[in-house]
Amino acid sequence: MPRSRAALLATILFRARSGARWRVSSFLSRRIYPSAFGAFGAGSVLDRPKIVLGADRIRIGEGCVIARDAWLACEEGGGPIDIGDEVSFAPGVHLHAADPITIGARCSFAESVYVGSADHDPRDHASIRGSGPVVIGDDCFIGLRAVILGGVNVGAGAVIGAHAVVTKDVPAGAVVSGVPARQHAR
């Protein structure tokens, strides 16, 4: 079925706009972000973040792609957030650090993943406190809308299933899913 002229024009305009936005993000990532962040590796691109808080305590490795609407937040006096080389974040990934968050090399994060080492004080909901450091090893895959809470270590090569809530350590190479996340045979 032939496409209408309007549909074809809309497709061309959408691709042109998204390409232009990516070029702007690439320019900012080469020229502006390296001086704002604690470290910003060569070849990394941060595309239209939603929130960046405490950028001086956020270190991004080389060759990373952080898609649009990322939330990278280090609470005052908190963090740091360390992201290894060649890490990819799909849109909407949210990192919130009061205690350190460390992400190994070559990890992939699906859309809307939340990793948090911060929590609200139950006696004072306006106050944020640390909930323990988070360490994610090299070569991990974190599925769609997964949640990794403070005090958790995820071993190298682990797979976290979509919508999983990780409250305990995950062994290297393990596959976990569910609420709370449980290990499955690989």
Q: Is 96 a catalytic residue?
A: no
Q: Judge whether 137 and 174 are in contact, CB under 8 Å.
A: no
Which is catalytic among the residues 94, 96, 120, 184?
A: 120
As a whole number of angstroms, the distance between CA 147 and CA 158 comes to 14
Chain mean position to CA 29: 16
- Which residue(s) pair with 82 in the sheet? 59, 102
In what side-by-side order are the strands of the sheet with 39-40?
Answer: 39-40, 58-60, 81-83, 101-103, 134-136, 153-154
Would you please indicate which residues are annotated as catalytic (active-site) residues? 120
